[in-house]
Amino acid sequence: MNAPAPSAPVPVAEVSQLLAPRSVAVIGASEDQTKFGGRLYRMLIKHGYAGTIYPVNPGRESLFGIKTVPSVSATPEAPDMVVMALPRAKVKDEIAAAAARGARGGIIITAKFSDAGPEGAALEAEIVEIARAHGMRLIGPNCLGIISPANRVVLCSSPALDVDALPVGPIGFVSQSGALMATIFDRALEMGVGFSHCVSVGNQADLELCDFVEYLIEDPRTRVICTYIEGIKDPRRFAELARRAREAGKPWLAVKAGRTDAGSRAAFSHTASIAGSHAVLASVCRDENITMLDDTGTMITLAAALARHPDARVETVAVLTTSGGGGALAADAISSGGLKMADFAPATRAALDEHYSPGQGLNPVDFGGRKFDDAADVSKVTAEIVAADPNTDALLYAITTAPMMERLADQLAAGMTDDQGQSRKPAFWVMQPGRAADRARAVLRERGIAFTNHTGEAIDALVAWHARSGFVPRTRPERPAGATVAAPAAGQYDEAASKAILAGYGVPVNESRLVRGADEAATAARELGYPVVMKIVSADIVHKSDVGGVAVGIADDAGAAACYRQIVDRARAAVPTARIDGVSVQTMASGKLEVIVGARRDAQFGPIVVVGAGGVLVELLSDRAIARAPIAAADARRMLESLSVWPVLSGYRGRALAVDAVVDAIVRVSWLAHDLGSQEFELDVNPLIVDVDRCVAVDARLRVGA
C-alpha cells in the first residue's frame, strides 16, 4: 500500500504554530538518558522551552520536577504538539489517542515504516489517514524531530544538543536525514554558526520538505535556507518556492543524495524517497538559482557568508595568509575553480607598500613579508586596506600555525568589520592548524565570525558563490512559427518517421528515399544527387552502425546497387531474426561538428531537452546540458555555451558555425517534448550536423508510450 497522496500545502501560519507550540506532550518521557524519550525530554527542559510540558509516563508521578500524566488522553488540555519515540507497534494507537484528544501536530521518531517495505508503508499510510481525519499534522516517521533555537523549542534527542546554550543564527535547515541534521548542527556550533530552525522530515509521510522551506521563506529570522534532499514529493511546488525564495532575497542551498545508482538506492532504503534524476534536478536548481553542493560542510560555510552578504557577487578574491606556501596553494585552487585572484588597485598597492617589503604587498598577501615585527598589529591595517580595495569582491584568510594566533584573529576580524560590527565584504576564514588554533577559534566564535578548518570547503564555497553570481533567470519560451501542435501518437518510430515528425516541427532534416532493391537504390541515389548515404531500415536494429548497416560517400550507380546488397546481407547475418524493411538512401550532409539533441519525460519534472556533443564524440565528451521543456532561444544558447564543444561552435581558430540554427533546432525539439509531455517518450537526434551556414538532422529515433 502506498502512502496517501499529499494534501494541499500546509499554510505557513500552521507550520509556524507547529514550530512554536504552546504545549508539548512527550510520550515515553523519562529521566533515563540512555533512552530517546529521556534525552528528548531533558533537552526540551534544558534549553528553556517556555510552554507547558506534559510528560507522559504512567509509572511515575513526576519527572525532573514536572507532574506526569498517564496518557495523552489525560492531559488537562489538548497539546499543540505530541512527540514520541516508541516501538512501531505502539505508534498507531498513540497517534489515534493524540488525534482524538485534539493535538495539532505530532513528531514520530520511530523508523521502520515506508523505509522498511510494503508492510511498514501500509501502516504509515494508515497512521497519516487517522491523523488527517482529526486535523492533526505529522512530522516523520523516521526523523529526529526539530531544533528551533529562535523559538527555544528543542524536540530532538541528539547528544549534540547537550551544550549550555544554543546560538540563534539566520540559517534555516530542512533535512531528510535526522542524524545528518544533528551532525551538521553540532559541527556548525563548532564553526561558530547558528541556526534559526532545523527540521528533520524523515519519510515525509505528511508534512514534507517544501512545507518547511515555505515557512523559512516567510520567517523574518531566517536569511539563508539550507536543505539536505533525498527525494522531492512535489516538483512543481519545489520550483515555485525557488522563485519565491529569490524574490524574498533568501539564498537557497541544497545537498542532494543520489548522484549515482548506489546513492539512489541508499536514499530510497533510508527514507523510501525516490531520488529521481540527479542531473535533471541539478538543471532545475541551476535554472532557479538553488545552489547545489556536494558537501554539507561547504553548504554551511557558504550559508554563513551569504547570511551576511546575500546580494553580493563574487568574481575576484584576495588571500591573506600567515604562510607563503598556503597562499600559493589557495591561489591555485581559486584559479582552478574559475575565479580570479584580485588585481589590487594602485591605491591599494601603495597603501600596502607602507607596511610590506617591496613586492610583498601583492595578492596573496603574506604577513611574513611585513616590514615590522608585530604581525597582529599590521594584520588589522592590512585587512582594512584590502577590504576597501575596489577590485576585490571577497577575502580568504588562510591561517596556518603562527605565534599569538588568537591576537592575530582578533585584529584581522577588527579590520574586516565596520563601526557597527558588520563585515565589509564576504570573508572566508580557514583555520588550518589543529589544537594550536583553538584559542583563535574561540576568539572568532566570540565575535560571531564563522570559520572552517578545511581549505577545500572555503574554496568550494567561493566557487559556488561565483556560480550564483552569474545567475540569469530563464526567458519565457514562445512557440516558434511552423512548429506543429499535433503531438505524435504512441508508437515506435523508425528513422524516416522520426525525421518526418521533426520536419513537421521545423527541424531541418536531410532528404531520403526508402528503397527495396539494388536497381531502385541506384535510381534513388541518382535522383537525390551524389554522394549519398545508405542505411538499413529495420525496427529490430537500433544501432545500425554496429551491424554494418550504414555506408557513406557512395558516388555512382554501381556503388549504390552494390552497397544495397552488402548492407542487407550484413544486417541479416548480424541479426537473422530482424525484419528488413529496406534501405534508406539519403542526401549526404557535411559539416564541422556533430551534436546530439535529445528529449524525454522525467518522472518528477516532466519533459526535458538534452544537448551535448554528438556522433563519435558522444561517449568521449560526456558533458550534457539539460533543461525543462519548452525552452527559449536565449536559454538554449546558454546550454550550448556550457558544453566542451562551444569553442568549436563559436569559431575557435576559424569561422563560427551556424549557432543560431542549432539554437532554433533545440527550441523546436523542446516544443515537441512539451507537446509529448503527458506521455512517456524518448527522442534522440544524433547527429545534428553543423556547418558554417546550416545544421541538419541526419538520424533520429522516437518512442512514444511505454
Give the start-to-end residue ranges of the domains of the chain.
12-304, 313-469, 511-587, 593-704
Contact 293, 253 (CB under 8 A): yes
Whether CATH 3.40.50.9100 fits 12-304: no
| Tens digit of each residue's pLDDT (9 = 90 or more) over 640-653 | 999 999 999 998 77
Quick one: pLDDT at residue 269?
Answer: 42
Report the C-alpha gap between 193 and 296 in whole angstroms. Answer: 13
Quick one: pLDDT at residue 375?
Answer: 62
Quick one: pLDDT at residue 452?
Answer: 97
| Tens digit of each residue's pLDDT (9 = 90 or more) over 108-119 | 999 999 988 899
Q: Do domains 12-304 and 313-469 have the same CATH topology?
A: yes
Which one-letter DSSP state was computed for residue 230?
Answer: S
Quick one: pLDDT at residue 267?
Answer: 43
Quick one: pLDDT at residue 539?
Answer: 80
Quick one: pLDDT at residue 420?
Answer: 62
More confident residue, 542 or 122: 122
Report the C-alpha gap between 12 and 104 in whole angstroms. Answer: 14
Domain 593-704 top-level CATH class:
alpha beta
Overall average pLDDT of the 663-675 stretch = 97
Quick one: pLDDT at residue 621?
Answer: 65
Taking 70 as the threshold, does the pLDDT of residue 525 lie above it? yes
Taking 70 as the threshold, does the pLDDT of residue 46 lie above it? yes
For 390, the 3-state DSSP assignment is coil
Report the C-alpha gap between 213 and 668 in whole angstroms. Answer: 35
Predicted TM-score of the model (pTM): 0.89
Overall average pLDDT of the 676-683 stretch = 91
Whether CATH 3.40.50.261 fits 313-469: yes
Taking 70 as the threshold, does the pLDDT of residue 268 lie above it? no
Question: To which residue does cell 534525552 refer?
Answer: 39
**Chain Cα centroid distance, residue 125:** 29
Q: What band does 4 get if pLDDT is binned at 50, 70 and 90?
A: very low
Q: What band does 618 get if pLDDT is binned at 50, 70 and 90?
A: low
Q: What band does 11 get if pLDDT is binned at 50, 70 and 90?
A: low
Question: To which residue does cell 566570540 refer?
Answer: 446
For 680, the 3-state DSSP assignment is coil
Overall average pLDDT of the 16-44 stretch = 95
Question: To which residue does cell 539512489 refer?
Answer: 264
Taking 60 as the threshold, does the pLDDT of residue 272 lie above it? no
| List of residues 6+ apart from 190 with CB closer than 8 A | none
Q: What band does 264 get if pLDDT is binned at 50, 70 and 90?
A: very low
Contact 402, 436 (CB under 8 A): no
Taking 60 as the threshold, does the pLDDT of residue 464 lie above it? yes
Taking 50 as the threshold, does the pLDDT of residue 497 lie above it? yes
Sort 647 into a burial class: Cβ within 10 Å, 0-12 / 13-18 / 19+.
Answer: exposed
| List of residues 6+ apart from 133 with CB closer than 8 A | 99
Quick one: pLDDT at residue 131?
Answer: 96
Q: What band does 444 get if pLDDT is binned at 50, 70 and 90?
A: very high
Quick one: pLDDT at residue 115?
Answer: 87
Taking 50 as the threshold, does the pLDDT of residue 275 lie above it? no
On the question of a cis peptide bond just before residue 364, with omega within 30 degrees of 0, the verdict is: yes
Which one-letter DSSP state was computed for residue 309?
Answer: -
Cell, residue 263: 546513492
Taking 60 as the threshold, does the pLDDT of residue 271 lie above it? no
Quick one: pLDDT at residue 8?
Answer: 63
Q: What band does 541 get if pLDDT is binned at 50, 70 and 90?
A: confident
Of 493-497, 502-506, 532-536, 613-617, the poorest mean pLDDT is in 613-617
Taking 60 as the threshold, does the pLDDT of residue 6 lie above it? no
Q: What band does 19 get if pLDDT is binned at 50, 70 and 90?
A: very high
Taking 80 as the threshold, does the pLDDT of residue 274 lie above it? no
Report the C-alpha gap between 561 and 584 in whole angstroms. Answer: 13
Q: Please, what is the average pLDDT of the chain? A: 91
| Tens digit of each residue's pLDDT (9 = 90 or more) over 326-346 | 899 999 999 999 999 999 999
Domain 511-587 top-level CATH class:
alpha beta
| Tens digit of each residue's pLDDT (9 = 90 or more) over 556-567 | 999 999 999 999
